A and B are shown apart, each in its own frame.
Chain A
């Protein structure tokens, strides 16, 4: 089906216009990842209105406001998103130049350790090969790196503390770096992301008629929670607050989260022994987010086993925050639904009901 619209009809009402200051949760499991759905959100906000042959008006211009997207990804790099979006017809690099899109890289340097100067001499003693390596914030890459990412290697001095932990670059991609512990570390990350959002808000386009709507997509932020844990002083509460802080900066927020059964159900089971903190915190974080969300989109595997023409099941349901706002506009008229989806080899997605 090559003529398939990039945004399937059944999906369009759910992804095209997230309501103001809302939180949308996309949950995924190991065999049913959410990347394709995130890309559909990007497409709905950034896609070319003339290219959409569906009946829905998914144009970026709505009420005279231009939609912009900030994508924060903790598990996938820029290369992945750029190439996958290209398959949909979205040129993220060009959109970045046009200041309609910004990517925040939470993968490359999040836990890179070489920024702590106190540890560098140690490692160079143990490993003579690393002796000649300068102390840079970035881990060392081969010198004649082809300039495929249009960003200069930051000449960070790696002095110490919070000032250098988030190496801002002049390039289009901001790289997050986690350092320190507890709420302070999260705050630093939040500041970094908020700076990117504000930068995008401030840039006025020539043909811009009004202010712009920033849609923030936080992809797999639960990794932060899982990888830090109690020893770093980060729990479900802190993460929930962190997401809420980010929500304030953006017009609407979309967060993806893992909802595999070991992560969710281990905690609540009447287990004979207390579940490990990883599970309890994750479940608390996920459930807490679901209570604050307006729309919850769950992706999961087919219960009856894998099939060749079905990738998984998508269930759209209303979160706890649904209906709490006073004015229910027309665009919010959607209903809960469970459909099957199939991601084709060419990147297109087929969404259909059971038995169709």
Chain B
């Protein structure tokens, strides 16, 4: 009897037709969400993410392959260099290229004119992986398709359709799917039709507190744009006294601003990401104010560029002669989503990272000290003390 019952259940035509009918509408609904250019679901948990404009930073963000929508990243930088500014320009340029709405706080239009020029979707990475492929010694063929070392989940995920590095995804996948991340050239200037869509919120004296008026302008600009627009809020060198008046850096001004920015980002209907850069030399991490700014942010990344005197170290820091020497260390203090949940369980956690900014990319790699090359002379001299030289031994 049981056989029959099962048979009946399987062969009834009504069930078969009705089930797909029910299941198709939700599919259509989920498929209608992604078409926004530049937004893709995270490989980790499916939440929408958007690219920061530099692939290696995308891969650092706890397996999401990008900055999750609604999250705020705080980029801190020690010293007087502007590596964080370069990252921020990539982020803004990526937003322009993806037709997202970019809001720049505290800067004039000039800032937008200095965005890096577009090379193309991942063309840069393509070329690099080709070169690497030809030069690298093959150790195990089967591991090659696992993605680049340190590329993280996203790097391994992207070429799922094909094989190899990012190359096949550009060949086959790009035609149908718009690029998620682009490559930019810092020496060129971005020319894109939608660059005029960037909004600038300059700092002007007004009757109300400065940050309150900035917040209002941001909200108004976001409210006035059509729904489903993806926004990017860019705040370069926040609290820098050359840009912001000194009273702004009081906790009672800064923290409510960041808090309401966070509230703005976390509204269920909004699709906003934000990156803020902060000069750490002026606002050290050991101060309570900066710690609170970090606590309010979703992600905190600190850049520690090597001082110039460390050039010797940085040249030797390159693993091979083909790689460029690292220009500084990068520390992740908090990553979006991951630490909100409690932290841990990320493969990138606990790594020492080094970054290299070249003309075409901002690359983040695991930092490792190679055998000391600079000590050659010292080694030679010690050897010469102990052992007679070959010339001496010849009779």
Interface residues of A (CB under 8 A from B): 30-33, 35-36, 75-77, 79-80, 84, 107-114, 119, 122-123, 126-127, 129-130, 133, 139-146, 148-149, 220, 223, 226-229, 231-232, 258, 260, 262-263, 266, 275-276, 278-279, 282, 305-312, 341-345, 347, 349
Contact = CB atoms under 8 A, between A and B. Distances in A.
A140 B220 CA distance: 7
Interface in B308-338: 333-334
Enumerate the 10 nearest inter-chain pairs by beta-carbon distance, A residue then B residue, closest first.
A311-B344, A343-B342, A306-B350, A130-B220, A36-B342, A227-B255, A111-B256, A142-B227, A140-B223, A279-B288
Contact of B292 (A80, A126, A278, A311): A278
B7 interface: no
Contacts of A111: 256-257, 259-260, 263
Interface of B: 44, 204, 206-208, 212-213, 215-217, 219-221, 223-227, 250-252, 255-257, 259-260, 262-264, 266-270, 285-292, 294-296, 300, 333-334, 339-347, 349-350
Contacts of B213: 123, 126
B342 A349 contact: yes
Contacts of B208: 113, 119, 122-123
A76 B33 CA distance: 25
A231 B344 contact: no
Contacts of B286: 262, 266
B154 to A, nearest CB: 15
Contact of A75 (B44, B204, B262, B341): B262
A122 B204 CA distance: 13
Nearest to A144: B227
Given A142-B223, A310-B344, A122 B207 contact: yes
B299 to A, nearest CB: 11
B288 A141 contact: no
Given A228-B252, A308-B347, A345-B345, A260 B291 contact: yes
A30 B220 contact: no
Contacts of B251: 226-227, 229, 276, 278
B256 A343 contact: no
A263 B288 contact: yes
B287 A312 contact: no
16 contacts: A30-B334, A107-B263, A110-B263, A114-B219, A123-B217, A126-B217, A127-B220, A140-B219, A141-B270, A148-B269, A223-B255, A226-B292, A227-B255, A229-B251, A262-B291, A307-B350
Contacts of B220: 123, 127, 129-130, 133, 140
A126 to B, nearest CB: 6
A30 B223 contact: no
B267 A122 contact: no
